């Protein structure tokens, strides 16, 4: 791993750069795929599935028979684990419900806000080197709690043209309405425009590689909303001498094994801990089945020593990590000053893996520094807040002159007239 000691502030930008291509580089490849899917629908989807996934599929829709077969292939202990995780995720997201907000702003002027579900949502579930059935839980549970009517799921097929049994079992368990064996840029384009098979949706959710992330951003050009830019996974650990070096190393590797373009960073005020963690990483990585992927990620990762906690806090907020593990003696100092992070894991016994699977929080989080302005997926992500108002005769008399004066000052006399007519009628 790359060790950096007391980096000067002017170097932070280059030091904290993610190992991903720029949007401009990827956009050149993504744009033509979008246009082909827009113009040719399923034909284009099939062409790009053959090209990128190296499998020919005539029917992208998953059948009931496929779901039943998949359910029989999932071990019972895994089913029970998925069900327990689902309950915890439901409990946490259901607690996020808010009551209707209602207030009389002036006498006779009644304003209120209610939340309504987004009716059609598209969920992207990564397949690739790791079939993330846990992401099915993270997206379908809040979608159902919100009351979304149509929940469309796309995930890349394997070389046999199938989806992982656990993905199908979890999707069926959580009430997904339509499942398609389509991945990558073509899946995002399909949900953006709609094809003969894949429905168009109003908002697209889910993590993916850097190509999927850019595809989601391009979808916004065509009027489709997205949850956030959520690309290759990343983790930053802040630890001092109170941390367990073996635990820290295991957390770094848990994210490094996601993909070669993942990034993990350790920030510490202890040179001794940095050395211990580096040794632990070298030992633990030998035991991983995905060690070749993890090694590539580790090559992009950093061990950063800083002299004091004030510098550490500033550097961490500048990075804005997707996942942020805090193993320090003075937790409150860091927590009170944490502004940019997708999800925070506190203490030696809170691994990031808990949030990935079963603690209840959502693991679909902003990456690449977007934690500075985006939240992770939550119940409100699947809902819209609509405002309502009703004004009585007394109410319009109370605020009417204010509206007239402001409209006239802006030169919008039709606006003024809409009030004046009502006032004259009274």
Known binding residue 323? Answer is yes
Q: Are the C-beta atoms of residues 408 and 263 closer than 8 Å to each other?
A: no
336 labelled binding-site residue: no
Q: Which of 280, 322, 352, 404 is catalytic?
A: 322
Is 251 marked as binding a ligand?
no
In the residue annotation, 307 being an active-site residue is answered as no
164 is in an annotated binding site: no
Measured CA distances, 70 to 140, 178, 182 (Å): 18, 16, 17
Residue 28 CB partners (closer than 8 Å, separation 6+): none
Place of tokens 């009027």: 223
* Cross-strand pairs, 267: 238, 304
Q: Is 231 exposed, middle or buried (0-12, 13-18, 19+ CB in 10 A)?
A: buried
The C-alpha angle with vertex 345 and arms to 2 and 18, in degrees rounded to 5, equals 35
Q: Verify whether residue 323 is a known catalytic residue.
A: yes
Phi first, then psi: what are they for 310, rounded to 5°? -65, -45
Strands in 302-305's sheet, in edge-to-edge order, are: 2-5, 302-305, 263-268, 234-239, 323-327, 343-346
Its sign, for the CA torsion 315, 240, 352, 92, is negative
Q: Known binder of ligand: residue 258?
A: yes
Whether residue 356 is annotated as binding a ligand: the answer is yes
d(CA 12, CA 153): 39
User: In which residue are the tokens 């606006």 written?
Assistant: 415
Parallel, antiparallel or unpaired: strands 2-5 and 101-106: unpaired
Question: Which residues, 6 or more positions from 118, have their beta carbon under 8 angstroms from its beta carbon?
Answer: 146, 148, 202, 203, 225, 382, 383, 384
Task: Tokens 């990456």: give the residue.
Answer: 367
CA distance 366 to 114: 26
Task: Report in angstroms the alpha-carbon separations of 36 from 30, 188, 368.
Answer: 10, 13, 29
Is 339 annotated as belonging to a binding site?
no
Among the options 93, 257, 280, 323, which is catalytic? 323
Q: Are 343 and 355 in contact (CB under 8 A)?
A: yes
Taking each helix axis from N to C terminus, what angle separates 245-256 and 271-284, rounded to the nearest 10 degrees?
50
292 known member of a binding site: no
DSSP secondary structure string for all residues of 51-89: HHT----S--BPPHHHHHHHHHHS-HHHHHHHHHHHHHH
Using DSSP's 3-state secondary structure scheme, residue 37 falls into helix
Binding site per annotation, positions: 124, 186, 209, 233, 255, 258, 323, 356, 410, 415
Binding site per annotation, positions for Zn(2+): 255, 258, 356, 415
Binding site per annotation, positions for substrate: 233, 255, 258, 323, 356, 410, 415
Known catalytic residues?
322-323
């Amino acid at each position: 791993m790359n060790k950096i000691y007391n980096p000067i502030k002017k170097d932070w930008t280059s030091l904290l750069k993610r190992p991903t291509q720029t949007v401009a580089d990827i956009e050149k490849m993504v744009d033509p795929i979008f246009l082909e899917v827009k113009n040719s629908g399923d034909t284009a989807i099939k062409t790009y599935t053959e090209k990128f996934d190296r499998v020919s599929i005539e029917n992208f829709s998953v059948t009931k028979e496929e779901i039943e077969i998949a359910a029989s292939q999932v071990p019972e202990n895994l089913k029970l684990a998925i069900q327990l995780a689902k309950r915890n995720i439901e409990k946490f997201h259901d607690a996020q419900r808010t009551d209707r907000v209602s207030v009389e702003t002036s006498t006779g002027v009644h304003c209120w806000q209610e939340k309504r579900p987004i009716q059609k949502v598209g969920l992207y579930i990564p397949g690739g080197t790791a079939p993330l059935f846990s992401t099915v839980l993270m997206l379908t549970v809040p979608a159902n709690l919100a009351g979304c009517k149509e929940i469309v799921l796309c995930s890349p097929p394997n070389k046999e043209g199938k989806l992982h049994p656990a993905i199908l079992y979890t999707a069926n368990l959580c009430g997904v309405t339509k499942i398609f064996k389509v991945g990558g840029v073509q899946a995002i384009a399909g949900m953006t425009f709609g094809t003969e098979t894949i429905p168009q949706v109003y908002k697209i959710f889910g993590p993916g590689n850097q190509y999927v992330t850019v595809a989601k951003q391009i979808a916004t050009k065509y009027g489709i909303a997205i949850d956030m830019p959520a690309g290759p996974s990343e983790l930053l650990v802040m630890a001092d001498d109170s941390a367990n070096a073996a635990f820290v190393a295991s957390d770094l590797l848990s994210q490094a094994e996601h993909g070669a373009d993942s990034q993990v960073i350790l920030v510490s005020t202890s040179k001794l801990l940095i050395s211990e963690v580096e040794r632990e990483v070298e030992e633990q990585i030998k035991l991983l089945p995905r060690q070749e992927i993890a090694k590539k990620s580790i090559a992009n990762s950093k061990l950063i020593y800083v002299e004091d906690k004030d510098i550490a806090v500033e550097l961490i907020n500048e990075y804005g990590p997707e996942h942020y593990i805090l193993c320090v003696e003075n937790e409150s100092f860091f927590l009170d000053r944490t502004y940019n992070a997708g999800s925070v894991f506190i203490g030696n016994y809170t691994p990031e893996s808990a949030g990935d699977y079963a603690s209840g929080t959502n693991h679909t989080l902003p990456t690449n520094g977007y934690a500075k302005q985006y939240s992770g997926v939550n119940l409100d992500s699947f809902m819209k807040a609509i405002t309502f108002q009703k004004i009585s005769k007394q109410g319009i008399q109370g605020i009417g002159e204010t509206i007239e004066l402001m409209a006239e000052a802006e030169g919008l006399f039709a606006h003024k007239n809409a009030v004046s007519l009502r006032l004259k009628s009274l």
